[in-house]
Amino acid sequence: MKAFFIAVGSELLDFKLNTYTQILSNKLGEMGIKLNHEATVEDDFDEILSATKYALSRSELIIICGGLGPTFDDLTRKAVSILTKRKLIFSNYIYDFLKQKYRFKRLKKNLKNQCMAVENAMLLENPNGTAFGEIIEFNGKIIILIPGPLNEWLSMWDKIKDFLSKKLNSKKRIYSVRFKIADLKESELEKALKPITKKDFTILSGPNICEFILRGYDKRKIEKLKIKVEKIIGPNIYGYEEDTIEKKLGELLKQKGKTLSIAESCTGGLVSSRITDIPGSSAYYLGGINAYSNEIKTKMIKVNKKTIKKYGAVSEQTAYEMALKSRKIFDSDYSVSVTGIAGPEGGTEDKPVGLVWFGISGKEKTLTEKRIFLKKDRSYIKEAAANTAMFLLYKMIK
Amino acid sequence: MKAFFIAVGSELLDFKLNTYTQILSNKLGEMGIKLNHEATVEDDFDEILSATKYALSRSELIIICGGLGPTFDDLTRKAVSILTKRKLIFSNYIYDFLKQKYRFKRLKKNLKNQCMAVENAMLLENPNGTAFGEIIEFNGKIIILIPGPLNEWLSMWDKIKDFLSKKLNSKKRIYSVRFKIADLKESELEKALKPITKKDFTILSGPNICEFILRGYDKRKIEKLKIKVEKIIGPNIYGYEEDTIEKKLGELLKQKGKTLSIAESCTGGLVSSRITDIPGSSAYYLGGINAYSNEIKTKMIKVNKKTIKKYGAVSEQTAYEMALKSRKIFDSDYSVSVTGIAGPEGGTEDKPVGLVWFGISGKEKTLTEKRIFLKKDRSYIKEAAANTAMFLLYKMIK
């Protein structure tokens, strides 16, 4: 089954990003439905009507998001009503629901529209707003209307999923596993996994992290493959599905009751900021020093002046001292350091833009690691270095 | 004139966000062209053909992005060739251009497709890739083909703009000013500007920053309005168009030859990271301390233990000491401090989630400011606090 997604909203053609396509695509993908067309149209009746007509000529499943609010003059419902030749009728069911929810005595004018629904539509309650969703079956096709706000339509998704699952051959459900991987090049990943996987996978690349997604109709086969993948690239897997490195690292530190400090140079505070994106991170994160200048590296983190003079600020020796000494200064169980060249200026032949040294210090040992990030983009290098720093620490603690 | 935008790319229906709609919408808007439909289709010939046909039935201007690469089997060009009934012909002009650029002797197979163009198309050179853009006029309509990567199609934009400007009635050009505003509530902004503006404006809200966009056909009127707006909300304007606070703050520090240090608590390194997003920030940013725990505030920033005990970590007094003492420790000209409650835990009746104290210290004075950010979202509060810290410092230095 193929799906056509129509997003209604002038703001989506002006300043607001349409982020729903990917969410919907994933949710449909889980059921084996492929989203193969997305259209965004302004809040205009003729546009919605025309786009929906076109969608009906192309797909079996049309999902229309937005244009259902009380201020929208019912554009979406009206368009679907015309195209399906079904009346818009006043729904006592919706009326009673809204009456109970908002405790009104007489129907307010702006809510009257919200009680209208396409004849014979299956209604989807909205716990987070006034616009009901609707599922309309028409000439062997399915039209689903969902309200614009994310929390409103997500709250209806289970019902939509149930409905679509029943319509689909149940054997056709797609099973998937999303591996979260760090510090492994896409080419190495492909090479490592090619012998065991076929074409049914996707790799999404980020700054020295990536996602590897296995998909298939055969659940047991996917589970077997999952184990095989873990055997081959296990050390580089930091999580699954929605996991982030900062979340996994935080869980690990919390679970072991350990504390952390950070000494950053080229990432300029990004590692600390990412760590503290996690609610409750104050349980394990004590603090960090962003030592952008050499003076601050020696003064605040007590890196030996001779070390910087002899080896430079971007060196194994400096990274080592930064991690070790920051752990001692902060009196934390662990510390991680990052020093590198984020560019665009400052690179040399020996030390090119993208070179980053890491120090990872625990009470038992202090290690160093070197990486060269080839994409010469400042924000990419910062993100790649931050991901790597957190992952290297995660590996040491684990 | 209305425009229809088609983005070609299966990845845009799967995992990759389509961020071009807003960029294109802005660029077209400057010329008075309204983008009123966007469609994303997979890399499939029939889909591209059908979507382009539909677009031709709806709009005078169709912009198709992607599907021009050497590995794409020429999908977009072929579809346009069929719909316009014009042949695809081998262009010696493109051939010579690519030959000179890539210095090949014989034409490589994968570049052969790249030399094909729709008959009578105006060709747009691509300094950043192999796919030429094309402008095709057909039955009073305009079809523009642009390559997928942003830097490739942006490099062609000036030529496209010239072409479209000539086609348009020059009186219809839209003039716009985009004010970058900080530390002013949307409601206050609206109230302040309502007396002088009509409906032709847009406000885009961010975390304690916003954009106010004036638009109109009358250039002189817009210029007059701009001056009026500056008179009313001048102190809250930190820049225009693509400016960011970190960029403007960096320019100011560089220009005055002054240095900066930062003492962060609830933002956890975010202010430092944002400051160091700017290339060359090492010229003015010395470093910072992310003091997440109270011990680190007293130990590293030398905040008086009594101050924290008496007033708490989130207090005017602690913010004051953090800024003043960090300026001294780092020996910088300026320092800014942030201490607050990012949530979701940790709020009390007196000190709710969203309360943030700032300290701003220069050699002449040290100030404090208090803000309460009402949106109870951790990342929003972090971003709002970071924006405010940089803006307050910007105001002091200016």
A285 interaction partners in chain B (CB closer than 8 Å): 268, 292
* Amino acid B16: pLDDT: 79
Q: Which among A61, A289, A378 is the top mutation candidate for probing chain B, defined by the most B β-carbons within 10 Å of its own β-carbon?
A: A289
Which of the residue ranges A389-393, B141-145, B201-205 would you say has the lowest mean pLDDT?
A: B201-205
Structural domains in chain A plus CATH codes: 2-171 (3.40.980.10), 175-240 (3.30.70.2860), 245-397 (3.90.950.20)
Number of A/B CB contacts below 8 angstroms equals: 208
Nearest residue to B119 (alpha-carbon basis) of B95, B137, B140:
B137
Q: How far apart are CA B292 and CA B269, in angstroms?
A: 10
Give the pLDDT confidence of B220-266 residue by residue, as tens digits: 999 999 999 999 999 999 999 889 999 999 999 999 999 999 999 99
For residue A96, give how far its alpha carbon lies from the nearest alpha carbon of chain B (Å).
32
Q: What is the mean pLDDT of chain B?
A: 91
Q: How far apart are CA A89 and CA B122, in angstroms?
A: 53
Please state whether beta strands A285-291 and A260-264 pair in parallel, antiparallel, or not at all (unpaired).
Answer: parallel
* Amino acid B73: pLDDT: 61
3-state secondary structure chain A: CEEEEEEECHHHHCCCCCCHHHHHHHHHHHCCCEEEEEEEECCCHHHHHHHHHHHHHHCCEEEEECCCCHHHCCHHHHHHHHHHCCCEEECHHHHHHHHHHHCCCCCCHHHHHHHEEECCCEEECCCCCCCCEEEEEECCEEEEEECCCHHHHHCCHHHHHHHHHHHCCHHHCCEEEEEEEECCCHHHHHHHHCCCCCCCEEEEECCCEEEEEEEECCHHHHHHHHHHHHHHHHHHEEEECCCCHHHHHHHHHHHHCCCEEEEECCCCCHHHHHHCCCCCHHHCEEEEEEECCHHHHHHCCCCCHHHHHHHCCCCHHHHHHHHHHHHHHHCCCEEEEEEECCCCCCCCCCCCCCEEEEEEECCCCEEEEEEECCCCCHHHHHHHHHHHHHHHHHHHHC
Q: How far apart are CA A343 and CA B47, in angstroms?
A: 42
* Amino acid B71: pLDDT: 63
pLDDT confidence band for B200 (50 / 70 / 90): low
Report the percent of chain A where pLDDT is more than 70. Answer: 97
CB A368 within 8 A of CB A359: yes
Please tell me which residue, A200 or B94, carries the higher pLDDT value.
Answer: B94
Give the pLDDT confidence of A163-178 residue by residue, as tens digits: 998 888 654 667 788 8
Kindly identify which residue of chain A lies nearest to residue B44, measuring between CA atoms: A36
Q: How far apart are CA A194 and CA B140, in angstroms?
A: 51
pLDDT confidence band for B17 (50 / 70 / 90): confident
Q: What is the mean pLDDT of chain A?
A: 91
For residue A302, give how far its alpha carbon lies from the nearest alpha carbon of chain B (Å).
13
Is pLDDT of B378 > 60? Answer: yes
Q: How far apart are CA B358 and CA B250, in angstroms?
A: 19
Q: Do A276 and B268 touch (CB under 8 A)?
A: yes
pLDDT confidence band for B381 (50 / 70 / 90): very high
pLDDT (average), residues A294-315: 96
Please tell me which residue, B72 or B20, carries the higher pLDDT value.
Answer: B20
pLDDT confidence band for A15 (50 / 70 / 90): confident
**A207-216, A264-273, B370-379: range with highest mean pLDDT:** A264-273
Can you spell out the DSSP letters for B320-331? HHHHHHHHHHHT
pLDDT (average), residues A236-252: 95
> Is residue B95 within a helix (H) or strand (E), and if so which, with residue range?
helix B92-102
Q: Do A287 and B289 touch (CB under 8 A)?
A: yes
Helices B219-233 and B186-193 sit at what angle, rounded to 10 degrees?
A: 120
The SS3 of residue B174 is: coil
CB A330 within 8 A of CB A258: no
Q: Do A204 and B41 touch (CB under 8 A)?
A: no
Q: Which among A176, A266, A292, A325 is the top mutation candidate for probing chain B, defined by the most B β-carbons within 10 Å of its own β-carbon?
A: A292
A344 interaction partners in chain B (CB closer than 8 Å): 279
Distances (CA, A) of A359 to A92, A183, A324: 66, 15, 8
Q: Do A343 and B293 touch (CB under 8 A)?
A: no
Please tell me which residue, B199 or A147, carries the higher pLDDT value.
Answer: A147
Q: Do B39 and A36 touch (CB under 8 A)?
A: no
> Is residue B244 within a helix (H) or strand (E), and if so which, with residue range?
none
* Amino acid B74: pLDDT: 72
pLDDT confidence band for B363 (50 / 70 / 90): very high
CA–centroid distance for B213 within its chain: 14
CB A347 within 8 A of CB A341: yes
Q: Which of B17, B41, B272 sits opposite A290 (nearest CB)?
A: B272
Give the pLDDT confidence of B304-316 residue by residue, as tens digits: 999 999 999 999 9
* Token representation of residue B52: 């382009």
* Amino acid B72: pLDDT: 55
Please tell me which residue, B14 or A198, carries the higher pLDDT value.
Answer: B14
Kindly identify which residue of chain A lies nearest to residue B299, measuring between CA atoms: A330
Distance between start and end Cα atoms, chain B: 43
* DSSP designation for B131: P
pLDDT confidence band for A355 (50 / 70 / 90): very high
* Amino acid A223: pLDDT: 93
For residue A101, give how far its alpha carbon lies from the nearest alpha carbon of chain B (Å).
24
Distances (CA, A) of A273 to A168, A200, A212, A356, B190: 45, 36, 26, 19, 33
Q: Which among B13, B49, B204 is the top mutation candidate for probing chain A, defined by the most A β-carbons within 10 Å of its own β-carbon?
A: B13
* DSSP designation for B1: -
Is pLDDT of B321 > 80? Answer: yes
Please state whether beta strands A175-182 and A61-65 pair in parallel, antiparallel, or not at all (unpaired).
Answer: unpaired
Q: Do A18 and B18 touch (CB under 8 A)?
A: yes
Place of tokens 């940790």: B346
What interface predicted TM-score (ipTM) does this complex get? 0.75
Is pLDDT of A190 > 90? Answer: no
* Token representation of residue B227: 């001056």
For residue A92, give how far its alpha carbon lies from the nearest alpha carbon of chain B (Å).
36
Q: Which of A12, A16, A287 sits opposite B290 (nearest CB)?
A: A287
Q: Do B273 and A382 touch (CB under 8 A)?
A: yes
Report the percent of chain A where pLDDT is more than 90. Answer: 68
CB A386 within 8 A of CB A270: yes
Q: Do B277 and A38 touch (CB under 8 A)?
A: no
Q: Do A37 and B13 touch (CB under 8 A)?
A: yes
Give the pLDDT confidence of B116-159 residue by residue, as tens digits: 999 999 999 998 888 999 999 998 899 999 998 898 999 999 99
For residue B141, give how far its alpha carbon lies from the nearest alpha carbon of chain A (Å).
19
pLDDT (average), residues A372-391: 93
**How many CB atoms neighbour CB A224 within 10 A?**
12
Name residue B131's amino acid.
A
Report the percent of chain B where pLDDT is more than 70. Answer: 97
* Amino acid A313: pLDDT: 96
Nearest residue to B315 (alpha-carbon basis) of B275, B283, B359:
B359
Output the pTM of the full model: 0.76
* Amino acid B199: pLDDT: 59
* Amino acid B219: pLDDT: 85
Q: Which of A58, A285, A378 sits opposite B279 (nearest CB)?
A: A378
Q: How many CA atoms lie within 13 A of A396 on its CB side?
A: 24
For residue B77, give how far its alpha carbon lies from the nearest alpha carbon of chain A (Å).
19
Nearest residue to A143 (alpha-carbon basis) of A67, A91, A73, A42:
A67
Which of the residue ranges A130-134, A325-329, B199-203 would you say has the lowest mean pLDDT?
A: B199-203
Which residues have a Cβ under 8 Å from the Cβ of A372 and sit 6 or more positions away?
Answer: A352, A354, A355, A356
